[in-house]
Every structure is written in structure tokens, then in C-alpha cells.
């Protein structure tokens, strides 16, 4: 846990704080933007929570932090309850749940849990955490772990051993997970079932993939995210490990699909009606071509 002795001077005084073990992964700023901000290459508390909702979101950020760099001056009686809330529904339909419990092994990448009639699906992998494992058990376990790329496999072994789930990854990223039970062989999109489409999107890595679920939710790994500063979807130019040209081409191919949610591993989510989402993606493609 975070320690008061290492509290960053950039924090405003008050209950919540960030210490100097922060790795600047942006998780807390995305979950509780009313409380956390970027400061000096790390995160800091710039406003203490003022409402019950802000307090709750700050505790969610504390729990999700991959390095346990967020703390409170005194123990918070609500923390144990918040820890047991994960996975949290992304929207009221509860078709997709956000796992929280980010892992430092994947630099704080997000992961998602999909209740599915043919066996529950984990998209990318959180850190090993007892409250989360307990909830997964209550929800029926995990059948398949679908990995968008080799960077965000985190504690895959622990979840595989606990739930005997099959791990899937593209063959071009298999070096990151040589023990995977299944690899995607194709360079073209293919349907895993009638609700889950695998879309190879080489660029960030050779084997990067997006997953389209129920023609509504697009899981993008490190391929695509929303930028509040730019006001549109974007890609990580400074974190393109394979080919920016290939990533731009892959992004353009996503215009063939309809979806309402962009759910990334890193970066911010975006929810828009399908037509507006396409227009936003077109802005991203244009921006990428000019980089």
C-alpha cells in the first residue's frame, strides 16, 4: 500500500494521496478525473472528493491502481466493500464488466469479463487478486481468455490454473505466451462464435487484435483509444512497437465494422452511437495519416 512518508508534494492536503511509487499509467485519472491529475510525470490528488460518488470513484481508482500507489491518511471503512464490487458493469446492460485490479506487469492495462452462455470470456488479464477471483467463481468461472496482444497477458498463468481457461493469442505474438492453448492463424477477421469477432490489427505489435462483441463493444488493446485532449479517437504513436504504417492501415479497416463502445487496454473509453463512432474513427484515420 501507499505510504504517507512517500506522499508526493504535488498532492493537495487531505485524505487521499499518491506516493512516489506511481508509474504514470493514467488508470486513476481515467477512473476518477475529479480527484486525480497528471503532475510531474506521475499522478497526484488535485481535489479531494466532495460527494459520495467522487469518494466511491476515488476508492475504485485506489483498488484498481497496479502499483498500490494511492492511499488514505486513515483506513477507509468503505474500502473492503469497494474491493468486492469488481468486476463492474461497463453500462446498465451488464453485457461487459470491467475487471479493475490492473497489473504492473502490463503497465496498468484494463481487462474485461464477458458473461457468455457458452462459457464466460476474459479479455486480456488483470492481476491476481482474491476478491476478483472469488467474484469470477460466483459468476461461473472463465472458459476462454482472449488476449489482444502480447503486452497485456499479466497474471494469465494464475487465472489459467485456477479456472482451466483456454488462452488465445495471435501467432505473431505467441512469443509472449508460448504456453497458449490456441493461436489465431489468420490475417483476416473471423468469427469465434456468432457474437464474438476476432479482427487482426497489426501495428502496435505484429499480432495485435481487436475483438468485436455483439456488434456493440470493440475491445482494442493498445490499438485504439479516446483522447480527451484531442477530442477524438487516436493511436499511441510513441508506443508503436511494430509499424505505424501497418497500424494506420489496420485502423482504416475498422471502418468496415459497426460498434458503439471502444474499450481499450490503455487510454480512455468512448461510447457513442454507431454513426458518430464511425465519424470519430474517420478523424483518427486522418490524424494518423498526417503523423
* Cα Rg, the chain, nearest whole Å: 19
Same domain, 119 and 150: yes
Same domain, 196 and 222: yes
Kindly report, residue by residue over 82-115, the tens digit of the pLDDT: 999 999 999 999 999 999 999 999 999 999 999 9
Does the residue 150 lie in any domain? yes
CATH number for the domain harbouring residue 275: 3.60.15.10
In this prediction the pTM is: 0.95
Kindly report, residue by residue over 256-282, the tens digit of the pLDDT: 999 999 999 999 999 999 999 999 999
Same domain, 57 and 106: no
Q: What is the DSSP string of 90-118?
A: SSTT-SSEE-----GGGTT---EEE--TT
Same domain, 40 and 105: no
Of the candidate ranges 9-13, 120-124, 166-170, 175-179, the one whose mean pLDDT is the lowest? 175-179
Same domain, 43 and 162: no
Same domain, 196 and 105: yes
Q: Let me know: does 251 contact 285? Beta carbons within 8 Å.
A: yes
Last residue of a domain, one of 45, 74, 103: 74
Same domain, 43 and 157: no
Helices (H), the chain: 27-31, 52-64, 79-83, 130-138, 156-163, 244-253, 274-289
Does the residue 80 lie in any domain? no
What pLDDT is stored for residue 122 in this prediction? 98
Q: Which domain holds residue 14?
A: 4-74
Q: How many domains does the chain have?
A: 2
Same domain, 128 and 158: yes
Kindly report, residue by residue over 199-230, the tens digit of the pLDDT: 999 999 999 999 999 999 999 999 999 999 99
Please tell me whether the peptide bond between 240 and the residue prior to it is cis, using omega within 30 degrees of 0.
Answer: no
Last residue of a domain, one of 74, 101, 125: 74
Same domain, 108 and 227: yes
Same domain, 150 and 44: no
Asked if pLDDT for residue 117 goes beyond 90, the answer is no
Last residue of a domain, one of 74, 101, 135: 74
Kindly report, residue by residue over 36-58, the tens digit of the pLDDT: 999 999 999 999 999 999 999 99
Does the residue 82 lie in any domain? no
Please give the Cα distance from 21 to 9 (Å, whole number): 13
Asked if pLDDT for residue 192 goes beyond 90, the answer is no
Does the residue 137 lie in any domain? yes
Same domain, 68 and 114: no
Asked if pLDDT for residue 147 goes beyond 90, the answer is yes
Same domain, 112 and 252: yes
Amino acid at each position: 500500500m501507499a505510504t504517507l512518508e512517500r506522499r508526493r508534494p504535488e498532492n493537495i492536503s487531505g485524505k487521499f494521496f499518491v506516493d512516489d511509487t506511481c508509474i504514470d499509467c493514467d488508470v486513476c485519472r481515467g477512473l476518477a478525473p475529479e480527484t486525480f491529475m497528471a503532475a510531474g510525470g506521475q499522478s497526484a490528488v488535485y481535489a479531494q472528493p466532495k460527494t459520495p460518488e467522487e469518494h466511491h470513484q476515488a476508492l475504485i481508482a485506489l483498488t484498481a491502481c497496479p502499483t498500490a500507489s494511492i492511499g488514505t491518511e486513515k483506513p477507509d471503512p468503505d474500502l473492503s466493500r469497494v474491493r468486492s464490487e469488481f468486476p463492474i458493469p461497463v453500462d446498465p446492460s451488464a453485457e461487459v464488466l470491467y475487471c479493475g485490479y490492473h497489473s504492473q506487469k502490463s503497465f496498468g492495462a484494463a481487462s474485461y469479463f464477458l458473461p457468455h452462455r457458452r462459457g464466460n470470456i476474459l479479455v486480456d488479464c488483470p492481476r491476481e487478486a482474491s476478491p476478483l477471483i472469488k467474484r469470477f467463481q460466483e459468476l461461473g468461472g472463465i472458459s476462454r481468455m482472449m488476449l489482444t496482444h502480447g503486452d497485456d497477458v499479466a497474471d494469465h498463468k494464475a487465472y489459467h490454473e485456477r479456472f482451466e481457461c483456454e488462452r488465445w493469442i495471435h501467432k505473431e505474438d505467441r512469443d509472449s505466451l508460448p504456453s497458449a492453448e490456441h493461436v489465431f492463424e489468420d490475417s483476416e477477421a473471423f468469427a469465434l462464435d456468432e457474437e464474438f469477432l476476432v479482427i487482426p490489427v497489426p501495428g502496435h505489435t505484429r499480432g495485435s487484435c481487436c475483438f468485436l462483441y455483439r456488434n456493440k463493444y470493440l475491445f482494442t488493446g493498445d490499438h485504439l483509444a479516446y483522447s480527451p485532449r484531442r477530442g477524438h479517437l487516436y493511436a499511441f504513436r510513441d508506443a508503436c512497437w511494430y509499424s505505424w504504417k501497418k497500424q494506420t492501415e489496420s485502423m482504416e479497416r475498422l471502418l468496415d465494422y459497426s460498434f458503439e463502445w471502444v474499450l481499450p487496454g490503455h487510454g480512455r473509453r468512448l461510447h457513442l452511437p454507431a454513426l458518430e463512432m464511425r465519424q470519430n474513427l474517420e478523424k483518427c484515420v486522418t490524424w494518423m495519416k498526417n503523423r
